Every structure is written in C-alpha cells, then in structure tokens.
Amino acid sequence: MVRRPGGELATRPLHFIWLCDTSGSMSIDGKIQALNNAIREALPYMQQVADENPNANVLMRALKFSHGAEWHIPNPTSLDDFGWSDLIADPLEKPKLDIVFMVDTSGSMSDEINAVKSSCVAFADRIIKEGANVRLGLVGFDIGGHRGGPITTYKVHNLSRYTIGIWSLTSPQDFKKNIQSLSLGLFGGAGCYLANRDTVDIFPYVVRTFDSSSDDKGVSSTLESLVERFKPRNSEDNSRNSRILVIISDEIGNTEGLSDIVSQLNSASITAHVLGVPKGNGAHESIANMTGGKFWDISKSKGEQDFSTLLGTVAEAIAKEVTRKLADGTVSAGTDMGTGLKMLAEQLKIPPMSDRALPPVLVLISDGQPTDDFESGLKALMAQPWGKKAVRIAIAIGKDAELNVLQNFIGNLEIKPLQANNPDTLVKYIKWASTAVLKAASSPATLTTTASASRATVPIAPPPMPESDSAPDVW
C-alpha cells in the first residue's frame, strides 16, 4: 500500500461518469432498454472492485444528451448508495416537411423543368433518408397567360401581370405523376423577374400552397386582402409542418418588391432556397438570405443531368436542416454531444473537483453522430486538467455510430471505441468499462496523481472480444 509520512494515504475521490445518448434513435430496437439493463447489471461488479480498492471513494454520476443535455444523476453518489434510474430516450418523431418548388416556365428553363420532373422523387428520398416525412408541391409562374390544355392536376390564377399554376402538396410519388403536365412556356413564356413589384401578388398564393387544408374558393383578387387572409394564426399553427420553398429561375428583376415578398414568407415561417442568378445585393440572393435559406448559382449547371445533381445538393442541404428549435432558441437535431461535454467540463473544474483525486473515468455511449458543435465541446473538456487526465472510454451502439468522433473523445490511439451490435455484447463492454477500467483508475499506481501533475498512464486490461457464437447483430 502506498504510504506517506504519518500513515496511510487518505482515501481519494474517483468520479465515474456515464455520458449517455438518449436521442430518438436510441428508442428503437430496444437500445435504451439494453443500456439500462447493462448498467444495472454491472453495478454489483463495480461494488466488488471498489471494495478491493479501499483508498478510492468511487462516486457515480450520469449525464444524458439528446435535444440539449442535462444531468441524469447530478450529485456524486457513493457506490454504496447508488441505484440506477432508467434512462428514457426521446420519442422518435419524424419531422414533417412541406417542400414547394416555385419554377420559372419561361423559354430558357427546359433543362431545369425536365430535371424537376425526373428528379423530384430522388430529391424527396434524400430528405426522407434523414427520417423526415415529405410532401411536395409546385408553383409555376410566367408572363403571357396559360397555354396548356384541359386542366386536371393544377389550378391556374391570372394575376396583375403574371399567370401562375399551383400543384397541391402530395406524396413524392403522386407529385411525380401530377407534374408531368408541367412544360416550357406553360404560363406564357415571356419571362420571370423576381422581385419586381408585379411579382409580389404571386406570394399569397405561394403561402397558400403550403396550407393543404385550404381550397381556392373565395380567394380575393386584391393583394391586401390576400396578405391579411394568410397572416400567421395563433398557437394552433405551432405544430404545422416545416415549410421549405425552392425557387428556380434563370432570370432576375429588381428589388422593388423584395421587402413585401420577404415579409410574406417570414410571416408564414417559410424558408426559401433559391437556385437563381447571382447579382450584388440582387433579389435572388436576398430572398434566400433574408428567409434563412441558401442560394445556388443556376448558371453553373449545364444540362439536365447537371441540374439534377444540383438539386441533389439542395436536398442534402435541406436534409441537414431537419432540426427542431429548443426553448432557448438554439437549434438541435437531437444528438447534442458537444453540449453534454461542455456541461461535463463545468463539473470537472477545480472546484467543484478536488485537486487531490484519482483520474475520473468517463464512459461515452452513443448510437449516432453529434448534431451540434462536438469539437468545441471536446475543447472545453480538454481545457480542464481533470478532463485531460481522465480515463476516457467510448462505446458505439450499432453500426451507425460515428467511430471517428468517439476516437477523438478517447484521445488515445491505443484504446479504440468498442462497437456493440447486440445487447449481449453491450453488457460485456459495459461490465468491462465498469470493472477493468475502474480497477485500473483506482490502482495504487494512480494514487499520487493530482490535477496539476503530468498525465499518468493508466494501464487497462484489454476489453473482451465478441464470441464467434454470440447473438446475431440487431443494431
């Protein structure tokens, strides 16, 4: 036993902290239940290790992260008094997106129109892959009047100067069938010039396209009454689908109607992405920037295939924005690992931590990838002496976990993230992290460690290897 003048070395605290992902994906395939069972099953073995190392006072805590982060078990609790309280994962609620294409049908738009018609399902599928439900609609606009045949799939409106056609929101598959009637020059072919003053009266109809419960009966022809009709309603609208407008036009006007157009879109909570014409402080870029969207230069795409690729890029950008607003106004897509690390860093400061302690053990468990600023969270953790000196272990639940992120958390290439693809393997890895790692961190070799000392090497027994006849992968 390590001794010092005057007697035995006093007992030192050893903080053991679980960092648990409770995002929506942890609610499926029994992941969160398996994690709860594995931690609870490991506790008696942890107690045995603690009893064998009386100079270490093991203190347990748990932090969870999903949409934000919070302490699940906030107070350092002695193993003798510690009981596991089950984690509950967020409900896996698929975000609902309504996406309306607003397409210039003038004579130069042949490739773009064909690309929208051929690629709309792939466009939607890319977003659906991120777990969203998607409906698609379309507004065609031009100068010169309707030139199509009998109308069955869209509705025509003749405005002050422009003629527009509206295809209602529907499933991607039905939408692809419906828009086969979209064609070059369908609404005149004489040009489209956003955001001239005479384009402002298009946008009450654009807003209305997102309201799938409305029909076109009784629509006033005056701009003022239309704007009044479509002002945001009360709290009943808070649960409506997210609204994305994708404007596609290779012609640009002035900015005389810009403020009115942006006001209508923002009042209806519509984000506009624009594939248009670049121009310093021009209407296209301004509409995107002022509604929280993005701008792409349409002139850089050559041909239908090239424009289909550009549409894929737009879909990718929208997929990354499948997010929800937190109460404090920050944006989260559900796995705020970086926020959790920042919260952990606050608790590893001195104080509340003691300078004379054993290296903390931090076990990170996740089935996905961070959706916030992981790097700044890790930087905050590593800025604390006890964060840097901690024994950091990471366990990936399933094959979708981002192993590079977990490796960066560990910070030691000799220790790899552990991948558990079924409950049996998860139990083994949790037990190893709870016993072998705890034993190493509380061994006599680490008892002289202080936060200000150089980092001590904590030798850890290798983790168990999955057996060849183990349970099949389910994650």
Domain boundary at 264, 287, 322, which? 322
pLDDT tens over the chain, length 475 residues: 444 444 455 689 999 999 999 998 898 889 999 999 999 999 999 999 999 988 899 999 999 999 999 999 999 999 999 999 999 998 876 778 899 999 999 988 988 999 988 888 888 887 877 667 889 999 999 999 999 888 888 999 999 999 999 999 999 988 888 888 899 999 999 999 999 999 999 999 999 999 854 344 334 344 444 444 444 433 334 346 889 999 999 999 999 999 999 999 999 999 999 999 999 889 999 999 999 999 999 988 888 888 889 998 998 888 777 655 555 555 556 899 999 999 999 999 999 998 888 999 999 999 989 989 999 999 999 999 999 999 999 999 999 899 999 999 999 998 999 999 999 999 999 999 999 888 888 775 554 555 555 444 567 777 877 666 567 888 9
**Range 263-292 burial, b when 16+ CB lie within 10 A, else e:** ebbeebbbbbbbbbbeeeebbbbbbbebbe
Residue 471 within any structural domain of the chain: no
| Same domain flag for 315 and 181 | yes
Note the pLDDT of residue 92. 72
Same domain, yes or no: 259 and 316: yes
| 154 neighbors 100 (Cβ within 8 angstroms) | no
Looking at the structure, tell me whether residues 419 and 278 fall in a common domain: no
Q: Is residue 455 part of a domain?
A: no
Copy the structure tokens of residue 397. 């639940």
- Please indicate, yes or no, if residue 14 is contained in any of the structural domains: yes
Q: Are 435 and 49 in contact (CB under 8 A)?
A: yes
d(CA 359, CA 441): 6
For residues 402, 404, 407, 409, the Cα torsion angle rounded to the nearest 10 degrees is -70
56 - beta bridge partners? 12
> Does an H or E element contain 426, and which?
helix 423-441
Instruction: With respect to residue 3, please indicate whether it lies within any of the assigned structural domains.
Output: no
Query: Does some domain include residue 219?
Result: yes
Last residue of a domain, one of 270, 301, 322: 322
Omega into 195 within 30° of 0, i.e. cis?
yes
CA 91 distance to own-chain centroid: 15
DSSP bridge pairs for 393 = 363
| pLDDT for 159 | 97
343 part of a folded domain: yes
Q: Token pair for residue 378?
A: 């890790």
86 and 101: one domain?
no
Q: Are 203 and 296 within one domain? A: yes
The encoded tokens of residue 140 equal: 């065609």
Residues 128, 219 share a domain: yes
Torsion of the alpha carbons at 167, 168, 170 and 172, rounded to the nearest 10: 20
Q: Specify the number of domains making up the chain.
A: 2
Task: Report the sign of the C-alpha dihedral through residues 180, 184, 190, 191, in that order.
Answer: positive
Are residue 302 and residue 354 in the same domain, yes or no?
no
Q: According to DSSP H, which parts of 348-384 are helical?
A: 374-382
Residues 314 and 342 occupy one common structural domain:
no
Q: Are residues 239 and 170 in the same domain?
A: yes
Nearest to 187 by CA among 121, 125, 106: 106
Q: CA-to-CA distance for 23 and 65, rounded, in angstroms?
A: 7
- The verdict on 163 and 304 lying in the same domain is yes
The answer as to whether 86 is a domain residue is: yes
Residue 234 inside a domain? The answer is yes
Determine contact, residues 183/202, Cβ cutoff 8 Å. Answer: no
Q: Which domain holds residue 134?
A: 96-322
Identify whether residues 15 and 139 lie together within a single domain. Answer: no
Q: Output the CA angle 252-177-304, nearest 5 degrees.
A: 45
CATH number at residue 114: 3.40.50.410
71 & 127 share domain:
no
Q: Does the pTM of the predicted model rise above 0.75? A: no
